[in-house]
A and B are shown apart, each in its own frame.
Chain A
């Protein structure tokens, strides 16, 4: 075992930005996200003896932050029904495909990402759509696309048993997020 140190300020230097991004995408508030980084590092320091090194330090810290975020939503929101919900998918499938599995909706041309990327209103909508996903789905999408956690690490953090289940969940998440963006943003523009 090499340099496993319980130095929160080193963790902050190495993983602070990653933790901050994750928190920002979920809670949409800079001061709150900063507080969550601090709380996560403190909790990690306090429970360092339980860290057995089975996962990377980054994955371990993200796992702790995930619980901080869940606690936050438990305290401040009434949406408690969507914690582990990967099921709520049938209605969207029925809306999108006919009995033979062909598209029965039109997909709008979204244009290039560059324009949307610089549009503050687009980001508000993107956050809004992320927030409407069940928590596990939002975590999954963020951890895979932003933090680039490996499938195995994602499974560990999100308590998903197999990579196959992870792929199913990701496919549903993308379908759902796409639908929200299309209806909320592109159909309006």
Chain B
């Protein structure tokens, strides 16, 4: 059974790539009995969710795009 410290790595990795089943099963076993690691996992998901939700609020305005285009056209012309 992994320690809580090792769990932080497993939980992080599980967001990157599907874990092989032995790792996945010990991870879930640990989560079953450890409330703090369950909460840590929720915090990781929280951080991803807020950032992903924020994501589509950040984009270049049409005026900014046009301004950049004009300026690039001028600078790449000569």
Verify if B68 is at the interface (C-beta below 8 Å from A).
yes
Interface residues of B toward A: which range?
Answer: 35 or more
Give how many A-B residue pairs fall within 8 Å (CB-CB).
116
CB distance from A177 to the nearest CB of B (A): 6
Q: A101-B3, A117-B53, A171-B8 are in contact. Are A107 and B43 (CB under 8 A)?
A: yes
Chain B residue at minimal CB-CB distance from A105: B36
**Chain A positions 18 through 47: 1 when the CB is less than 8 Å from some CB of chain B, otherwise 0:** 001100110000000010011001100100
**Bound-state Cα–Cα, A30 to B6, Å:** 39
Count residues of A near B (Cβ-Cβ below 8 Å). 47
If over half of B's interface residues share one DSSP class (helix, strand or loop), that class is named, otherwise mixed; here it is: helix
If over half of A's interface residues share one DSSP class (helix, strand or loop), that class is named, otherwise mixed; here it is: helix
Residues of B with C-beta under 8 A to A181: 43, 47
Q: A38-B72, A41-B68, A175-B12 are in contact. List 20 more A-B contacts (CB 8 A).
A: A9-B73, A12-B68, A16-B60, A20-B59, A25-B58, A41-B72, A97-B4, A100-B3, A106-B36, A107-B40, A107-B43, A113-B46, A123-B54, A126-B51, A145-B51, A146-B55, A167-B12, A174-B47, A175-B8, A178-B40
Identify 20 residue pairs between A and B in the complex whose beta-carbon atoms are under 8 Å apart, listed by A's number: A12-B68, A16-B60, A16-B68, A17-B58, A17-B59, A20-B58, A21-B55, A38-B68, A38-B71, A38-B72, A42-B76, A101-B3, A101-B6, A107-B36, A107-B39, A110-B43, A113-B53, A116-B50, A146-B52, A177-B47
